[in-house]
Amino acid sequence: MTRVLRHVSLPVAALCVVVACSPLGAQNDAAQAAVNAAFNKYKTLKEGKNADYIPALAKVDPNLFGIVLVTTAGKVYTAGDLTTEVSIQSISKVFTMAQVIQEQGVESIEKRIGVDATGARFNSIIAIEAVRNVVGSGAPEMNALVNPGAISATSMVTGANADAVWGKIIGIHNDFAGRPLKVLQDVYKSESDSNQRNQAIGALMFAYGYIKTNWQQAVDLYTRQCSIGVNAKDLATMAATLAAMGRNPVTGKQVMDAAKIPPVLAVMATAGLYDDSGKWLYHTGLPAKSGVGGGIIAVSPGKFGIAVVSPPLDDAGNSVRAQKAIADISNALKGNPLASATQ
């Protein structure tokens, strides 16, 4: 009896925390409902195919499907597989670019690599030739989210030797994820044995002056960063840290200067889904990045980060289920930043 009376005398705010009756509680319900709805809608979808040009990726379970949304207040909503790690692949390009921007400023990436979409596939060699042929533009028309620009960005991370550079690359990934991440050695070995195309890209970028240092080291470190193991929760926390302007909402650590986040998001918006970036932006308005390991992260600035892991890819190299699930969830939660004036 005394206990009941004590409960009744709780302040309204405290009661709301217990029974989720506050406006925030209602929003939370909507986020979980949107995540559940997308999971149930797409869990049996079988479109797409695992990447197989890196042999280890062909062996990953295509049924793996996990969705995580993390708000800028650090609330976490989940469905499906949250713990199985896949290789981060091209999503790492965002964080290595962020490292360069953090230590060398926003202009560093713009001047050396450029911040324009190539309109070509992520490992296009013709795109390198096209950049070289643009005379007098002042900066290359490339970006750090396709392989040539990404290998160049990796080469820009400073350090006395490969270990020192790697320490910074893994360090920024750990900070964004909020936990120490590890390289998936089987993926690293498999990609190292089969990355002759990326070696050719590194050599060309060096030959044309877009890589100024040891290009072999840059390709190796790039391959290693692509092999970092992440689960859906890690990726969503990384996306939410971008959404919260560099403050990891789970750990509370400011991992990058807030003012340097919008340029990172801008490159994601223009080039994050390779040659399908325009289509993606047209429908969602969300800065995003995909990887051939099957992950996609997307950022609703000031609101939430979201990640989906599902290995089967479409022809452009983007996870089929991840694109559909993220678009649905963001639409349900009014996450499109380009539509904010109408919401």
Binding site for ligand GLN (CB under 6 A): 89-90, 122-123, 147, 191, 198, 226, 291-292, 317
Task: Give the separation between CA 76 and CA 68, rounded to whole angstroms.
Answer: 7
Please name which of 270, 268, 269, 285 lies closest in space to residue 342, comparing C-alpha atoms.
Answer: 285
CB of 191 to ligand GLN, least distance (A): 6
CB of 89 to ligand GLN, least distance (A): 3
Both structure tokens of 334: 């009014």
CB of 133 to ligand GLN, least distance (A): 24
Both structure tokens of 190: 């498999």
Please, which residue, 34 or 292, has the CB nearer to ligand GLN? 292
CB of 256 to ligand GLN, least distance (A): 22
Please, which residue, 65 or 188, has the CB nearer to ligand GLN? 188
Please, which residue, 229 or 317, has the CB nearer to ligand GLN? 317
Give me the phi and psi of 96, to 5 degrees please: -70, -40
Placement of tokens 């028309």 in the chain: 141
User: Of all residues in this chain, which one has the CB nearest to ligand GLN in the complex?
Assistant: 90
Task: Give the separation between CA 272 and CA 287, rounded to whole angstroms.
Answer: 7
Task: Give the separation between CA 219 and CA 234, rounded to whole angstroms.
Answer: 24
3-state helix, strand, coil in the chain (%, to 5): 55, 10, 35
CB of 134 to ligand GLN, least distance (A): 24
By the 8 A CB rule, do 259 and 109 touch? no
Q: Read off the DSSP letter of residue 117.
A: -
DSSP state string for 286-314: --EEE-TTSEEEEEETTTEEEEEE---B-
Ordered alpha helix ranges (H), 212-291? 215-226, 232-243, 261-271, 277-284
Please, which residue, 31 or 299, has the CB nearer to ligand GLN? 299
Amino acid in the structure at residue 206: F
Please, which residue, 78 or 277, has the CB nearer to ligand GLN? 277
Ordered alpha helix ranges (H), 76-207? 92-104, 106-112, 126-133, 147-156, 162-177, 185-193, 196-207
By the 8 A CB rule, do 320 and 312 touch? yes
Q: How many CB atoms lie within 10 A of CB 338?
A: 12
Please, which residue, 89 or 118, has the CB nearer to ligand GLN? 89
Please, which residue, 178 or 311, has the CB nearer to ligand GLN? 311
Please, which residue, 229 or 337, has the CB nearer to ligand GLN? 229
Both structure tokens of 113: 């690599």
Please, which residue, 50 or 147, has the CB nearer to ligand GLN? 147
